[in-house]
Amino acid sequence: MKFWGISAVVCCLVMDLFVGHHLVSQTYSGYSIVKTNNFTIIAWQNHCIYKGKPSTVTISPDAQSVAWVEDRLVGHITVDSAGDPVYAGTLYMAHAGSQPLLIPKLNSSRGYEFPAEDPDIGVVYHPNQLKWDSTSRYLYFTTIPWPTRAMLWQITPGSTTPRGIVPLWDYRLLKNWHGTDWVEAYETNYTEPPVCRDWTTTYIYTPEEMASANYVHPSRKSRISKDWPQ
């Protein structure tokens, strides 16, 4: 009876083992990931909840949440006489064994308005740079809703409404020993010709600043090299 109680995903793992070429997560009390050459399996306590080809997949530190992005081709854009493909993305999240939730793109958040998509010039919604807060309370990700600026987002597991933090290009999470992580985001500033130079300014956002209904300029900032450690 115990044999027949083995989940379908475990059977898949056994079959793949004989074929070879797969990587298995060591976490079985929560979410785990199996990658083969052809597809990815996401499982909750060894029960398959998703099988496909996500461009990105990440599990929270406590293994109680998982998020992934599926890409789709929406057009081509001509750059240097080459027709480069343009991909849009869809973000999904699952928490504590629940059904996967689609995280919809928003037209506005915290005072920011976002333009309509235009694949012909590369303006599409594409979640990337997924990072979990060290306490597993938040997932952060970026999108590029218009050509020259990115948007940093925060979302709570189980929610379908992300919160726009700031339109900055890159970010990292800073461990806060008294609670959830702080977020350090940076942008590059440029001077106009004929004297051209650039520098990087970083802004550190506290949980309180990120939780405000509208954007609040952070009180902490610094200037650093663009080649900052990750």
Same domain, 61 and 29: no
Same domain, 80 and 194: yes
H/E element, 183: strand 182-190
Average pLDDT for 154-174:
91
Q: What is the residue whose two structure tokens read 């992580």?
A: 181
Same domain, 120 and 36: no
All residues at 6 or more sequence positions from 185 whose CB lies less than 8 Å from its CB, including other chains: 152, 165, 166, 168, 169, 170, 171, 202, 203, 205
Same domain, 41 and 102: no
- Poorest-pLDDT segment among 28-37, 74-83, 124-133, 166-175: 74-83
Same domain, 117 and 44: no
Read off φ and ψ for residue 169, nearest 5 degrees: -80, -40
Same domain, 12 and 63: no
Range of the domain at 70: 54-224
Total of domains in the chain:
2
Same domain, 16 and 105: no
Q: How confident is the model at residue 147 (pLDDT cuts 50, 70, 90)?
A: low
Q: Which two tokens stand for residue 122?
A: 């590369």
Average pLDDT for 35-63:
94
- Beta bridge partner(s), residue 94: 66
- Cα–Cα nearest to 206, from 217, 190, 194: 217
Contact 155, 105 (CB under 8 A): no
Q: Looking at the chain, how many residues does it have?
A: 230
Q: How confident is the model at residue 188 (pLDDT cuts 50, 70, 90)?
A: low
Q: Tell me which of 195 and 100 has the higher pLDDT.
A: 100
Same domain, 93 and 197: yes
* Residue 33: predicted pLDDT: 94
Q: What is the residue whose two structure tokens read 């597809």?
A: 39
SS3 at position 70: strand
**Inside any domain, residue 113:** yes
Same domain, 81 and 108: yes
**Inside any domain, residue 204:** yes
Same domain, 137 and 163: yes
Residue 18 scores a pLDDT above 60 = no
Same domain, 105 and 32: no
Same domain, 115 and 137: yes
CA distance 198 to 148: 16
**Inside any domain, residue 229:** no
Instruction: Quote the radius of gyration of the chain (alpha carbons, Å).
Output: 20
H/E element, 178: none
SS3 at position 210: helix
* Residue 124: predicted pLDDT: 86
**Inside any domain, residue 97:** yes
Task: Express each pLDDT in 189-228 by its tens digit.
Answer: 666 677 666 666 788 999 999 999 988 888 887 655 444 4
